[in-house]
């Protein structure tokens, strides 16, 4: 179908220029005009309703709304606050608690989004990364596998996640900049294919008590710059908030993001949706819809702005670390 381009290679990892620590470069962002013209007659996009009872219905709605192809990238928050932000929403357990008979919130979110988007991913390869642990802090990310090997399907994402959790030391602070930069590199190396970066986190980007009111912390500033940079690429960013929050600053975060090529950022409160008094299938559908309902219009924007399938020729220079050894400091 129109708008698709060849899939990324099925072998090998994503290469980049090695560097020992993450540094945020300065960018001169081009000015973009919002697309206001009519859509080509051959391409139709429709408004997505909000009344679905299953993930399958949401998947069908995304297809009817115009989504044709999507590749998933997953980033998982391993900051220390995961140990206490499940006090109310996860029976006082760590949000990364692994149990034989129960999925934790991270596993639930991965499963729901993975099932919803799998129809749109032709090769089912999912690059997965962690951040915020003692090996990465707010500077880098680590790959789920050595040599940046990717996961095959969301089921392997879940199984590898369960293998990794016991060997990680949670740390901090929280920044989304490194995972966004890695996602940009993946899109660039794929030849500009459309990707959705799913960031699942238990907290907001770290704020600064020393910053004046209205001023961004270093982590917030770098995250905003990365989001703006990402809008030059065929990349949508969905941040899913798990745990008790608070999420007030995350809801206001979008207000601090300057002009972008297109609106590429979405925040969804997982806990709020999944705590509703409706059946489980309905909650899954509502969460999937809240997380992904903007994706067709964002996909459309990458088409109309000629971002989809375009190579920028820019090397970000951030490459993931290997998985940390057990108890890495």
Q: What is the CATH number of the domain that holds 197?
A: 3.40.50.410
Note whether residue 168 is domain-resident. yes
How many CA atoms does the CB half-sphere of 202 hold within 13 Å?
Answer: 31
How many CA atoms does the CB half-sphere of 140 hold within 13 Å?
Answer: 18
Note whether residue 42 is domain-resident. no
- What is the total count of domains within the chain? 1
Q: For residue 83, give both structure tokens.
A: 């140990």
Note whether residue 163 is domain-resident. yes
**b/e map 48-58, b = 16+ CB within 10 Å:** beeebeebebb
202, 170 contact by CB (below 8 A): no
In sequence order, the β-bridge partners of residue 197 are 73, 237
Rounded to two decimals, the pTM is: 0.83
The rounded mean pLDDT for the chain is 82
pLDDT tens figures, 197-219: 999 999 888 776 666 666 778 88
Note whether residue 314 is domain-resident. no
- Supply φ then ψ for residue 217, to 5 degrees: -70, 165
Note whether residue 9 is domain-resident. no
Average pLDDT over residues 136-154: 93
For residue 171, the 8-state DSSP code is: B
Note whether residue 161 is domain-resident. yes
Domain housing 299 = 55-206+215-304
Note whether residue 80 is domain-resident. yes
pLDDT tens figures, 160-179: 999 999 999 999 899 999 99
Q: What is the Cα–Cα distance from 253 to 204, expressed in whole angstroms? A: 9
- The pLDDT confidence band at residue 269, using thresholds 50, 70 and 90, is very high
Note whether residue 327 is domain-resident. no
Q: What is the Cα–Cα distance from 145 to 279, expressed in whole angstroms? A: 36
């Amino acid at each position: 179908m129109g708008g698709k381009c060849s899939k990324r290679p099925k072998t090998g990892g994503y290469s980049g220029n090695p560097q020992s620590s993450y540094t945020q470069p300065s960018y001169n962002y081009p000015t973009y005009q919002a697309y206001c013209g009519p859509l080509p007659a051959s391409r139709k996009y429709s408004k997505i309703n909000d009344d679905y009872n299953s993930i399958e219905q949401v998947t069908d709605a995304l297809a009817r709304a115009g989504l044709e192809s999507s590749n998933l990238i997953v980033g998982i928050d391993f900051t220390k606050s995961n140990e206490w932000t499940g006090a109310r929403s996860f029976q006082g357990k760590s949000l990364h608690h692994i149990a034989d008979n129960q999925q934790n919130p991270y596993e639930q979110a991965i499963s729901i989004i993975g099932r919803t988007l799998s129809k749109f991913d032709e090769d089912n390869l999912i690059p997965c990364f962690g951040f915020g642990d003692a090996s990465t802090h707010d500077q880098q990310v680590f790959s789920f596998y050595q040599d940046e090997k990717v996961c095959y399907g969301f089921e392997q994402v879940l199984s590898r996640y369960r293998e990794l959790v016991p060997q990680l030391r949670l740390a901090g602070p929280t920044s989304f900049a490194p995972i966004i930069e890695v996602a940009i590199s993946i899109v660039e190396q794929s030849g500009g294919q459309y990707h959705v970066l799913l960031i699942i986190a238990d907290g907001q980007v770290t704020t600064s008590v020393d910053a004046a009111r209205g001023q961004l912390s270093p982590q917030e500033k770098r995250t905003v710059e990365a989001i703006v940079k990402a809008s030059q690429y065929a990349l949508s960013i969905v941040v899913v908030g798990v745990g008790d929050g608070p999420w007030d600053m995350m809801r206001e975060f979008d207000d601090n993001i300057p002009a972008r090529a297109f609106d590429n950022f979405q925040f969804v409160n997982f806990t709020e949706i999944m705590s509703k008094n409706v059946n489980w299938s309905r909650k899954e559908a509502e969460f999937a819809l809240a997380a992904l309902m903007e994706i067709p219009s964002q996909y459309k924007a990458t088409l109309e702005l000629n971002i989809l399938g375009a190579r920028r020729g820019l090397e970000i220079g951030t490459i993931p670390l290997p998985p940390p050894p057990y108890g890495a400091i």
